[in-house]
Each structure stands twice: as structure tokens, then as C-alpha cells.
């Protein structure tokens, strides 16, 4: 685990690219020298494959490859190894797959990094998706209250020796207490004041997410769909600077 507190908050904003290749590269050019991290999710990766990771890294970015692995341990170990060899600096798997599955994913990532001479990627467990609320958990038969479920899954991730978790900013402070100061806590569901919530249910502003304990925040549409994405990024960075972050 690492202490991210020495990095300015603007360097811990992850811009989510839920778009096609041409738009992803356009946004990469616009954000080059401003943002440090870009997120590649299923929409972009399934269209372009590992090449898109290499192309974004060539522009100078770190890449969060958010594919949310969830399968038997053998498959997740192999998937994590493949993601690591593609150059991913951060990757995800579902905590609901269980501790053995997550441990296998961690082993795959570490082994691939060692054999390829790469830095070991940050490994994250998905707790409860930020689009979900308590009613959604009830619908799939999860009896625990939402925050208890998030913390229980985070504890499994800790036991599996993952770098941290993905959860909403509303649970970040509890997770910081569970996982300790060095854990990576990545929070989607971040919206600047006045921005549309879209399909997110559990949200916070960028500054509040960091103050709650997040190590990194994920912001997509408020930046990528803005008339001026670079200006939108800088507005969030300025909000964080004004908050002393």
C-alpha cells in the first residue's frame, strides 16, 4: 500500500473515457499536461482491446483499466496478468467474487509485473456499484444495510491483499477507518456542484470526496461532455486547490 497524500489532489483525478477511440484520443490530447490519469472501461476496451491502453500511455497518462473481473480464480488470475502486461496502472475485480478470487487476481497482477519488468499495478475491489442503492441490494437478496455490505466486502479485499477498493464517496470515511491510511480508495459518483447526476445514486462533490477519505476520484461526463473539457478539468482542480487539497 502507498501513501497518496503527498500528491496534489489534481493528480488524483481520474477522467473516465466512456467513448470510442477517436474521442478518447481527442480527449487525451486536450487533457495532456493537465490530467495524470485516464480510465478505460468496458465500452472502449471491448472495442479497441489492449492497444488503446498503449496509445493513451504514449500520450503520457497513467491508465486505470476498469474491467471489473468476476469469474473463477483461475480466469481472474489470467485476466489480471493480461491487464498488467497491457500496461494498466490500476485494475479492478468484483469483491463479490470472494477472497480466493481476489487473491488469485492479485497474484496474477504481481507475477506478470515481475516477469515483464513492470511496476505492479494498483489492484482494486469493486464493493457496491455507485449506481445502486439499498433497494437494489434488496432486489438481489443482500440483507445487510448498504454501508455494512461495502465495509464487509472491503474487509475481504484487505484479506486478499489488494491495494484498495472502489466505492462511493459516501462510504469513503468508513472505508478509510477499515483499510487504514495507506489504502487506495477510488470513488466514482463524483459530480461538481450543479452537475447532472446521470445514472449515479451515491454522489459527492470532488472536494467532499477527498475530504471523506478518497485517495482518487473518478469524473467522467462533467469533463468529457463539457464544451471545453480542459477548462472543466481545471475548474475541478481549482475547486480542490481552494479547499486546500
Active site residues: 68
Q: Which residues contact 187 (CB under 8 A, 6 or more apart)?
A: 130, 166, 167, 168, 169, 172, 204, 209, 212, 214, 216, 217, 218
The length of the chain in residues reads 245
| Ramachandran region, residue 145 (left: φ > 0; alpha: ψ -120 to 50; beta: rest) | beta
List strand residue ranges (DSSP E) for 82-236, in order: 90-94, 122-126, 164-166, 184-187, 216-219
What letter does residue 182 receive in the DSSP assignment? Answer: T
Residue 102 in grid coordinates: 481476489
On whether the CB atoms of residues 74 and 66 are closer than 8 A, the answer is no
Amino acid at each position: 500500500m502507498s501513501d497518496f497524500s503527498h500528491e496534489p489532489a489534481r493528480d488524483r483525478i481520474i477522467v473516465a473515457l466512456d467513448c470510442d477511440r477517436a474521442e478518447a484520443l481527442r480527449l487525451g490530447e486536450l487533457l495532456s499536461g493537465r490530467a495524470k490519469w485516464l480510465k478505460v472501461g468496458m465500452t472502449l476496451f471491448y472495442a479497441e482491446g489492449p492497444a488503446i491502453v498503449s496509445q493513451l500511455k504514449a500520450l503520457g497518462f497513467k491508465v486505470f483499466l476498469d474491467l471489473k473481473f468476476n469469474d473463477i480464480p483461475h480466469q481472474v488470475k489470467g485476466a489480471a496478468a493480461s491487464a498488467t502486461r497491457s500496461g494498466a496502472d490500476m485494475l479492478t475485480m468484483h469483491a463479490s467474487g470472494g477472497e480466493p478470487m481476489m487473491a488469485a487476481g492479485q497474484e496474477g497482477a504481481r507475477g506478470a509485473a515481475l516477469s515483464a519488468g513492470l511496476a505492479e499495478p494498483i489492484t482494486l475491489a469493486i464493493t457496491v456499484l455507485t449506481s445502486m442503492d439499498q433497494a437494489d441490494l434488496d432486489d438481489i437478496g443482500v440483507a445487510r444495510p448498504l454501508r455494512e455490505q461495502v465495509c464487509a466486502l472491503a474487509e475481504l479485499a484487505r484479506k486478499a491483499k489488494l491495494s484498495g477498493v472502489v466505492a462511493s464517496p459516501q462510504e469513503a470515511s468508513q472505508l478509510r477507518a477499515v483499510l487504514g491510511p495507506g489504502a487506495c480508495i477510488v470513488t466514482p459518483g463524483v459530480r461538481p456542484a450543479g452537475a447532472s447526476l446521470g445514472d449515479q445514486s451515491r454522489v459527492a462533490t470532488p472536494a467532499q470526496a477527498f475530504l471523506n477519505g478518497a485517495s482518487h476520484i473518478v469524473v467522467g461526463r462533467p469533463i468529457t461532455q463539457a464544451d471545453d473539457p480542459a477548462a472543466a478539468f481545471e475548474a475541478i482542480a481549482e475547486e480542490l486547490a481552494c479547499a486546500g487539497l
